[in-house]
């Protein structure tokens, strides 16, 4: 909100009221490059998930060979991965919350939770999460603005995640094992170019597909990146760490992350995928003060989500898939139908 | 809590302190009938989902013929189905919550939610939700008590839903269309016996399986009941109702419900299913002051969940499956890994 | 938020981007009439409470004659007066929340509350609550804008109620008994002029002062209006009403209210009072679609609070003062020092 | 909850069910010593505040000589003093939350808060906060038990703070400056006896009264202790500390505290005071694993609150009173009328 009124007229135009002159910093690329309407029409509220067809579903189902199942969500708790000032507080009212009832003496428990439900731990970024401040207002997916009717203090209305959640994600899941590619956990990038080992480029993506012996990335795929960064916060034995060690790990985890650079994101978009994901908090590379590969901060977020409706799943637990070398699988998951929510928690299922 | 101390010694024994005598009403069936340990051992925290094998998974995957997808969760909102004093409050901090950042002028939104997350709308009852007050304490799945170490005001510890969520549900989904069987929406039962049309008996279950032309219910199945009651709260056109009509529907919806009677529940348990579900708030029949078919209140909850670890999914949206007559399908879903949670919200996916 | 970007340039100027033209509706009176800085300087964050001097405090203390005490707050609960979509949810984690500890076997309980803490039940409107959309942004007390540094999704920073709360209100409390004046509970006004019995005019204020035999309203006074409207929601015997009756009362209570009209507010401002209050949810008159006495909606809120820093206390329980005819008293209260809060709950104390 | 069922029969008696034997650790002193009913009768829900008379009020009012005002609450914020897993989360929905309305273009903000409202920062312990596990259940003020009717997951009913809040505290405030007595900030006690400098004894109390030249502590007084410990978390310049320093201060602050030992508490109870308070999180001395002066952990909490209804105000800001040597003053404050709440936040006012 803070910057909104510095100027409400685009770019070069300075605005003045009385003796005061002020300017708002805006980015009118979404308007000039006509990011809206998208290929799915002006009414669309779901994005790239529209690409899923019965053929794509059946083909993905065909990947299930062993009958194995992996759940890809992380544990939700007060010390689960959170960014900035987000938090998770859960209490059990009453313990038991109610009862005993009837001759059976039934008792029951509820849990009361207060949290940024769609933006903590394993989290899905939906249409209402990422936008761009333009001279016309805060631009979101398919040209919706935060000023639009139905968007307000109690929900993002037409940008709500429920519209994506009605469809759900059923796709070929592709695991890109960057740890195998690089020979170890990827570092937080230090340089904003294609040679930094923490940044996965378009070429790296193609190299991994080739090395892992799977079919090229294509329409309707869901692509997940394994960087090893997710092992910082949190590893399997998280509960054994003391407070000081946990605190150090949290700090390191949030200080940046390896991930897709802008060339990889553009490549994935061209291949017409429908979902990105990773074992990191943002999926794309984040260095100190910059994104990966000469990108602006969180440029993949904007270019994939706001521009193209290719949504994003953060803080996944990919460890079982990696251990099983399950590079292709049937991915099945749908966000919660949270009316007006910006995202969703999740525990997706992989079958292979 | 209120009744706990009326007596802490079983059944016939009266307890006294000084000149005061008091008795606690208890139900020691779980202790006498040795509900613990279950067939999966004293350490088990997941229940019947342990029955799932790769063979079961592969067989269920084989049900996907058309490549169709249905999402089975309801909309979560302030006016979504809730029971008792449960509630849902969501706000968007800041709008936008943060930014603009960088030259791209990225802004983002979070949502802040306060709710009984595992026990509202489409909801999954996990091991920590339903128990029985015995003379040894509040007995839960596999002999755990609320007094046990690790169970407290901030989570139900070893009874937490995360232990089930690590496994997830991949099964043959079976839709039992009781509306087709009865020729209309089932009524809230008035009589606590097998002739009430609001109560689905074991025989009714077998009849539906036969009429619908599907294989008998068997090990590892997930069984969902369509009663039509879920159309009361809420129908597809919910937003068009005014406050008074909504209020009436909420009252009616919560006043009772058609569903499985105790004979059906015992039958499903014998068939070794792993999950029950329905378009109602409790899945089993609930009449005024009694359960269905001479059962105690919520007796199916106790007999399936607390005793056998067959969990339960309430307030499902089965309308697309019914419309498509998708009586058998691949059901894929896992609860959120909420540490110490009693249940989970959900938006399960059916493939057929 | 919805209207913000319709135009970001003032009044007559229309704004255009590409082929799109839009206009924001603004009210630049705060800028043109120079509502900032106020008489207490550009740095002031507290407003009219700055008027309180030791002499005023001592004079108010002198009003305590009988040693009687009244508490002026209402009960906070899930069914306490709330407006719009605000709500109150409180649970007791654990029951007990912790313990037993030590040989003493101490246990303790907490309560977990989720609510619009400063804007529910008996509530205080602080500097961050009421503002005006101008062409320079959302204008608040002393010329601060919501776009200013330190104001964001997690608190209103320099507009925070803590700055008022450091000072507190110690003043002559004046009870204006409009029920006695009108001969009964005041109606919700139907006409937007000075003859509507639901609107208290400047003349009415002076008449009540005279009839009640108290000294004229003056610098540093806190002035409270008794309308009887607060008896609708909620009366003393609130718990005896059934759900339907409660619902009707809530609807009526919130549909409008009698109270100060704009002439009374301007008069009180001239008399240099420091606080207004009433047994209603807004203190000023609110009719259907308009404020009282030809005022704009909530015009007193803007003219007293945003413009002059005369804050406001809503939903007071004045019944004991009325019964005791305690028309003058020592009023002692301070809001909670909620960092970045817009208001505060309260239970003020009257001594007389 | 964890210990409740180890035994439900007192002390020496072991309890058995079938082949299982278990024992609950209890403390039956409240039953044996007949802590209930208290001197105010079996129906009383307010405690020692009943001692306040018009004479006491008038005498306290007489202490106001200079017309000075001090507010004694601390800042409430995410980093304000909290114990254990308690927390404070506040967000501003929408920013603005609503508007613009009318020709005036009014906008407004709310704040949404989730917290242990009565047990964080400056906090008041009411009748529902502290109890003792006895063989009859969890014993609270005036013989109420957590099992009693009306006490449950959504509030402590007859133990609710609203019953105290209807009366409020108007009293002679007495500031005992232990920093002046000891010549510096008091240390966290290391020894559980009367010679430890971190423990204030009955003799110390009398010595301070004498040195400070004020009238003896007597009926209806509210007594506040200045230890200097409150300067650890948080000092006036709190915002200047970095995260690591804040973390160290929080840890130190919560690791124990100087305060009243059991002899001082017994003395104050004999003098018939109505409220204790301090610049610490528990008011009484807390060392590692023990209370002060051979007391059990939090023994003053039990002996003053649970037994006698002398309530307690924690984490006060006494700095202005200390600076002004305001050792006697008119103290005016009432908790919020939170229905079923265990305590209350506060910002009490001192006049002198």
Token look-up 């960092």 returns: C339
Min Cα distance A2 → chain C (Å) is 3
Q: Which residue of D has its CA nearest to C316?
A: D337
Question: Any chain C CB within 8 A of the CB of A339?
Answer: no
Min Cα distance C158 → chain B (Å) is 16
Q: What percent of chain D has pLDDT over 90?
A: 82
Question: Any chain D CB within 8 A of the CB of B145?
Answer: yes
Query: Binning pLDDT at 50, 70 and 90, where does residue D243 land?
Result: confident
Query: Binning pLDDT at 50, 70 and 90, where does residue D206 land?
Result: very high
Per residue in A317-331, pLDDT tens? 999 999 999 999 999
Per-residue pLDDT in tens (0 to 9) along chain B, 352 residues? 222 222 222 222 222 222 223 345 899 999 999 999 999 999 999 999 999 999 999 999 999 999 999 999 999 999 888 888 899 999 999 999 999 998 999 999 999 999 999 999 999 999 999 999 999 999 999 999 999 999 999 999 999 999 999 999 999 999 999 999 999 999 999 988 889 999 999 999 999 999 999 999 999 999 999 999 999 998 889 989 988 888 889 889 999 999 999 999 999 999 999 999 999 999 999 997 778 889 999 999 999 999 999 999 999 999 999 999 999 999 999 999 999 999 999 999 999 9
Question: Any chain D CB within 8 A of the CB of A100?
Answer: no
Per residue in D246-281, pLDDT tens? 888 988 999 999 999 999 999 999 999 999 999 999
Min Cα distance B342 → chain C (Å) is 14
* B chain contacts of residue A24, beta-carbon cutoff 8 Å: none
The candidate with the shortest Cα–Cα distance to C136, out of C48, C38, C20, C36, is: C36
Residue C235 tokens, joined: 């009366």
Res. A17: pLDDT tops 50: no
Task: Name the residue facing C9 among A4, A15, A147 (closest C-beta).
Answer: A15
Cα–Cα distance list, B51 to B13, B56, B170, B272, B303 (Å): 40, 9, 11, 8, 18
Task: Name the residue facing C89 among B89, B94, B96 (closest C-beta).
Answer: B89
Cα–Cα distance list, C253 to A209, B245, C186, C249, C286 (Å): 66, 21, 12, 6, 11
B89/C114 touch (CB, cutoff 8 Å), yes or no: yes
The candidate with the shortest Cα–Cα distance to A283, out of A349, A214, A225, is: A225
pLDDT at position A244 is 82
- Chains in touch with C (3+ beta-carbon pairs under 8 Å) read A, B, D
B85/C94 touch (CB, cutoff 8 Å), yes or no: no
Min Cα distance A197 → chain B (Å) is 23
CB burial readout A194-231, b (16+ within 10 A) else e: bebbbbbbbebbeebbeebebeebebbbbbbbbbbbbb
Query: Binning pLDDT at 50, 70 and 90, where does residue D24 land?
Result: low
| Preceding peptide of D96 cis, ω within 30° | yes
The candidate with the shortest Cα–Cα distance to B128, out of B96, B164, B170, is: B164
Question: Any chain B CB within 8 A of the CB of C34?
Answer: no
Q: Which residue of D has its CA nearest to B92?
A: D93
Do residues A78 and A88 lie in contact, with contact meaning Cβ atoms separated by under 8 Å?
Answer: yes
Question: Any chain B CB within 8 A of the CB of C78?
Answer: yes
Q: Which residue of C has its CA nearest to D289?
A: C102
Do residues D277 and D227 lie in contact, with contact meaning Cβ atoms separated by under 8 Å?
Answer: no
* D chain contacts of residue A97, beta-carbon cutoff 8 Å: 153
Pick from A6, A33, A109 the residue to mutate for testing the B interface (most B CBs within 10 Å).
A109
A87/D85 touch (CB, cutoff 8 Å), yes or no: no
Question: Any chain D CB within 8 A of the CB of A85?
Answer: yes
C93/B1 touch (CB, cutoff 8 Å), yes or no: no
* A chain contacts of residue B156, beta-carbon cutoff 8 Å: 92, 109, 111
Angle between helices D202-211 and D262-270 (to 10 degrees): 60
* D chain contacts of residue B85, beta-carbon cutoff 8 Å: 154
DSSP string of B162-226, one letter each residue: HHHHTT-EEEEEEEEEHHHHHTSPPPPP-SSSTT-TTEE-HHHHHHHHHHHT-PPP-TT-EEEEE
Contacts with D, C 286-325, CB within 8 Å: 296-299, 301-302
* D chain contacts of residue B148, beta-carbon cutoff 8 Å: 2
pLDDT at position C167 is 98
| Preceding peptide of D100 cis, ω within 30° | yes
pLDDT under 50: residue ranges of chain C: 1-23
* A chain contacts of residue C148, beta-carbon cutoff 8 Å: 2
Question: Any chain C CB within 8 A of the CB of D146?
Answer: yes
- Chains in touch with B (3+ beta-carbon pairs under 8 Å) read A, C, D
DSSP string of B77-126, one letter each residue: STTS---TT--EEEE-BSSSSEEEETTTTEEE---EEEE-TTSSSSEEE-
Give the Cα separation of B334 and A317 in Å (integer): 14
Pick from A22, A99, A136 the residue to mutate for testing the C interface (most C CBs within 10 Å).
A136
Q: ipTM value of the model?
A: 0.93
Per residue in A94-104, pLDDT tens? 999 999 998 99
Identify the three-state secondary structure at position D62.
Answer: coil
Give the Cα separation of B303 and A72 in Å (integer): 31
Give the Cα separation of D312 and B336 in Å (integer): 41
Task: Name the residue facing D147 among B4, B135, B149 (closest C-beta).
Answer: B4
Cα–Cα distance list, D218 to A191, D221, D274 (Å): 72, 6, 10
∠D282-D284-D290 over CA atoms, to 5°? 100
* C chain contacts of residue D162, beta-carbon cutoff 8 Å: 75-76
Residue C296 tokens, joined: 């704009």
Task: Name the residue facing D93 among A85, A94, A153 (closest C-beta).
Answer: A153
Min Cα distance C94 → chain B (Å) is 4
Task: Name the residue facing C152 among B87, B94, B154 (closest C-beta).
Answer: B94
* H or E element in which residue D238 lies: none
Establish how many alpha carbons lie within 13 A of residue D87's alpha carbon, considering only the half-sphere containing its beta carbon.
17
pLDDT at position B193 is 85
DSSP class of D152: B
Close Cβ partners of C157 (under 8 Å, ≥ 6 residues apart): C148, C149, C150, C151, C340
Do residues B327 and B177 lie in contact, with contact meaning Cβ atoms separated by under 8 Å?
Answer: yes
Per residue in A223-273, pLDDT tens? 999 999 999 998 889 989 988 888 889 889 999 999 999 999 999 999 999
Question: Any chain B CB within 8 A of the CB of A64?
Answer: yes
Query: Binning pLDDT at 50, 70 and 90, where does residue D15 land?
Result: very low
Cα–Cα distance list, A83 to A45, A253, A259, B100 (Å): 27, 10, 17, 17
* C chain contacts of residue A155, beta-carbon cutoff 8 Å: none
B151/D1 touch (CB, cutoff 8 Å), yes or no: yes
Establish how many alpha carbons lie within 13 A of residue A326's alpha carbon, considering only the half-sphere containing its beta carbon.
26
Task: Name the residue facing A95 among D1, D95, D98 (closest C-beta).
Answer: D1
How are beta strands C349-351 and C69-71 bridged, if at all?
A: antiparallel
Task: Name the residue facing A149 among C2, C9, C136 (closest C-beta).
Answer: C2
pLDDT at position B24 is 57
pLDDT at position C324 is 98
Close Cβ partners of D344 (under 8 Å, ≥ 6 residues apart): D117, D118, D123, D124, D126, D161, D165, D335, D336, D338
| Cβ contacts from A onto B, under 8 A | 341
Do residues B53 and B220 lie in contact, with contact meaning Cβ atoms separated by under 8 Å?
Answer: yes
What string of H, E and C letters represents the secondary structure of B218-278?
A: CCCCEEEEECCHHHCCCCCCHHHCCHHHHHHHHHHHHCCECEECHHHHHHHHHCCCCEEEE
Task: Name the residue facing A89 among D93, D95, D114 (closest C-beta).
Answer: D114
Token look-up 């051979």 returns: D294
The candidate with the shortest Cα–Cα distance to B189, out of B289, B312, B305, B302, is: B289
Burial label, C214 (beta-carbon count in 10 A; 0-12, 13-18, 19+): middle
pLDDT at position B47 is 98
Pick from B79, B109, B339 the residue to mutate for testing the A interface (most A CBs within 10 Å).
B109
* D chain contacts of residue A152, beta-carbon cutoff 8 Å: 94, 98
pLDDT at position D49 is 98
DSSP class of C303: I
Identify the three-state secondary structure at position C99.
Answer: strand
Give the Cα separation of C186 and C198 in Å (integer): 5
* C chain contacts of residue B152, beta-carbon cutoff 8 Å: 94, 98
Task: Name the residue facing C54 among D67, D104, D112 (closest C-beta).
Answer: D67
Work out the mean pLDDT of chain A and round it to a whole number.
Answer: 91
Query: Binning pLDDT at 50, 70 and 90, where does residue A197 land?
Result: very high
Per residue in D109-153, pLDDT tens? 999 999 999 999 999 999 999 999 999 999 999 999 999 999 999
Query: Binning pLDDT at 50, 70 and 90, where does residue A24 land?
Result: low
C15/A9 touch (CB, cutoff 8 Å), yes or no: yes
DSSP string of D255-288, one letter each residue: T-B-EE-HHHHHHHHHTT-SEEEESSSSSB-EET
Question: Any chain A CB within 8 A of the CB of C99?
Answer: no
Min Cα distance B300 → chain A (Å) is 11
pLDDT at position C24 is 57
């Amino acid at each position: 909100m803070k910057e909104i009124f510095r100027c409400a007229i685009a770019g070069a135009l300075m605005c003045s009221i009385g003796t005061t002159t002020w300017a708002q910093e805006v980015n009118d690329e979404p308007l000039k490059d006509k990011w809206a309407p998208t290929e799915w029409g002006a009414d669309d509220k779901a994005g790239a998930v529209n690409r899923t067809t019965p053929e794509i579903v059946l083909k993905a189902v065909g990947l299930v060979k062993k009958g194995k199942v992996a759940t890809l969500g992380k544990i939700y708790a007060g010390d689960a991965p959170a960014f900035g000032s987000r938090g998770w507080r859960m209490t059990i009212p009453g313990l038991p919350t109610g009862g005993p009832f009837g001759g059976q003496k039934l008792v029951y428990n509820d849990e009361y939770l207060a949290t940024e439900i769609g933006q903590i731990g394993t989290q899905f970024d939906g249409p209402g999460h990422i936008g761009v401040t333009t001279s016309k207002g805060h631009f979101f997916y398919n040209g919706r603005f935060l000023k639009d009717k139905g968007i307000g203090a109690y929900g993002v209305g037409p940008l709500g995640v429920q519209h994506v959640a009605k469809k759900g994600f059923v796709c070929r899941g592709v695991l890109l094992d960057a740890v195998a590619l690089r020979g170890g956990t990827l570092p937080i990038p230090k340089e904003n170019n294609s040679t930094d080992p923490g940044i996965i480029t378009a070429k790296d993506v193609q190299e991994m597909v080739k090395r892992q012996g799977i079919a090229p990335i294509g329409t309707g795929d869901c692509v997940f990146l394994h960087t090893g960064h997710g092992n910082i916060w949190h590893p399997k034995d998280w509960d054994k760490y003391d407070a000081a060690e946990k605190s150090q790990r949290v700090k390191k985890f949030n200080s940046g992350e390896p991930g897709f650079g802008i060339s990889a994101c553009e490549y994935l978009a061209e291949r017409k995928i429908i979902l990105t994901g990773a074992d990191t908090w943002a999926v794309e590379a984040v260095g100190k003060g910059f994104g990966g590969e000469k990108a602006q901060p969180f440029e993949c977020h904007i270019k994939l989500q706001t521009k193209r409706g290719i949504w994003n799943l953060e803080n996944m637990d990919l460890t079982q898939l990696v251990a099983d070398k399950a590079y292709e699988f049937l991915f099945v998951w749908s966000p919660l139908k949270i009316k007006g929510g910006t995202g969703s928690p999740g525990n997706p299922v992989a079958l292979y």
